Amino acid sequence: MRLTSALLLASTASAISYPDLSTIANLFSRKDSGCPAVWTSISSELTKKFLSNGQCNPDARAAIREVFHDCGAWNTGLGSTGGCDGSLILAGELSRGENKGLQGISDYLQGLATKYNVTVADMIVFAGSHAIVTCPGGPRIKTYVGRKDSTNPAPNGLLPDVNAPAADLLALFQAKGFDERDLAAILGQANIMPGAHSTSNQFNFNPGRSGDAQDSTPGVWDVKYCKSTLGAAKMHAETLNPPKNVLVLPSDAKLSQYGNVAKEFQGFVNNQGKWNGKFADAMGRMTLFGSSGTNGLSDCTNVLPQATNVKRELRAMSMFKPRN
């Protein structure tokens, strides 16, 4: 009896000591997103292209503008057509006035798409997301691949005019499914957004001031573009009171003072986390313009670089180096 009991106990102990945890492990394992391996190689090339001295460079800033000009030439009436379809490059849209200055980055991205046998549409979106997170402080955008290219040009008039009234600009973005907070977060991309205008230079709006930045730290993703000090009834910001060599587009100045857009714009002041979160949400939705949601697409977000620490990179900037 004692021997039998001992054997039973040993058998029970063995069962308890070595349970099958495969089911539990599967619950916590990170599932493969199905992102094609080629995008890892593309990401490595883009890092070399977009990062200079710890900051995002002009090529990165052009790529951020590029994704808006391809994806943003869309509204809800187009449904699952148009949008992020590569037509900016493939359908002659670069000849349009609003796309002036994008030829260089377009040639580069088209060449990279050919080299790695991926669609131009996917390359534009992936490069834009890559450029955003390359900027110190920039958020990671949920990024998918699997789009088809199109040689059908987007309709005219779907991108913002920098001289348009604020009401018209808001209506243009509402037709894309964006509200006032979305617009405040995305204000300035492709000639209208703190997201890209926080990290941009202008070359075409005012040729006499070619190269002027649109905030005082164009290589860093920050809220200086909408930084302000509130007076009794007036907002003073780089947007409204730009420092020397900072050029603010008329559309940005108008929207930063317009109704609920102004209130949302002000809500991002000194709140990098709030702005990044809302910007990433709005931008992620924009990169699905023209798609049937994420159906048929593969999630390549994990292939993007990790977010860059702003404080660490700022220490590497020339302003913190000893003077000669």
What tens digit of pLDDT does each residue of 5-29 get? 443 333 334 343 334 433 333 333 3
pLDDT computed for residue 251 by the predictor: 66
Is the pLDDT confidence value at 146 over 90?
yes
Q: What's the pTM value of the predicted model, to 2 decimals? A: 0.72
**Which residue has 């979160």 as its token pair?**
277
CB 56 within 8 A of CB 219: yes
Strand partners, 201: 213
pLDDT given for residue 309 in this prediction: 54
114 labelled ligand-binding: no
- What is the predicted pLDDT for the residue at 244? 52
Res. 152: pLDDT tops 70? yes
CA-to-CA distance for 267 and 48, rounded, in angstroms?
35
Task: Give the pLDDT mean for 255-279.
Answer: 78
End-to-end CA, the chain: 90
Catalytic residue among 49, 65, 69, 147: 69
Tell me the two tokens of residue 310: 């702003």
Q: How far apart are CA 136 and CA 232, in angstroms?
A: 33
Give the H/E segment covering residue 312: helix 310-315
Q: How much is the pLDDT for 171? A: 96
Greater confidence, 245 or 143? 143
230 - beta bridge partners?
235
Q: Looking at residues 185-214, what average pLDDT do you find?
A: 43
Annotated binding residue 236 = no
Residue 236 phi, psi dihedral angles, 5° rounding: -110, 120
Per-residue confidence (pLDDT) for residue 38, from 0 to 100: 98
pLDDT tens-digit series, residues 48-60: 999 998 888 999 9
**193 pairs with which residues across the strands?**
188
β-strands 235-237, 55-56 pairing: unpaired
Inform me whether the pLDDT recorded for 203 exceeds 60: no
Determine the Cα–Cα distance for residues 170 and 186; give it in Å rounded to an integer. Answer: 12
Task: Give the total residue count for the chain.
Answer: 324
Interatomic CA distance for residues 265 and 263, integer angstroms:
5
Long-range contacts of 271-274 (CB under 8 A, 24+ apart): 271/223, 272/137, 272/222, 272/223, 272/310
Q: What separation in angstroms does the CA of 136 have from each of 174, 220, 307?
A: 30, 5, 7
Helices (H) and strands (E) in the chain, counts: 14, 6
Question: Is 104:66 a contact under the CB 8 Å cutoff?
Answer: no
Higher pLDDT, 199 or 248: 248
Q: Is 168 annotated as a binding residue?
A: no
| Region of poorest pLDDT, from 46-50, 144-148, 179-183, 192-196 | 192-196
The two beta strands, 144-145 and 55-56, are unpaired
How many alpha carbons fall within 13 Å on the CB side of residue 63? 30
Q: What is the pLDDT of residues 72-93, one digit of tens each?
A: 999 999 999 999 999 999 999 9
In CATH, the architecture of 37-310 is: Orthogonal Bundle (1.10)
Whether 39 has a pLDDT exceeding 70, the answer reads yes
76 annotated to bind ligand: no
CA within 13 Å, CB half, 274: 12
Tokens of 319: 């302003």
- Report which residue type is found at 69: H
pLDDT at 183 over 80: yes
| pLDDT at residue 313, rounded to an integer | 39
Q: Any catalytic annotation for residue 69?
A: yes
The verdict on whether residue 83 carries a ligand-binding annotation is yes
Q: What's the confidence (pLDDT) of residue 185?
A: 85
Tokens for 110, please give them: 């088209």
Consecutive H or E run containing 5: helix 2-17
- Chain-wide mean pLDDT for the chain? 74
Give the torsion sign (CA, 223, 225, 231, 234): negative
Query: Is 32 labelled a binding residue?
Result: no
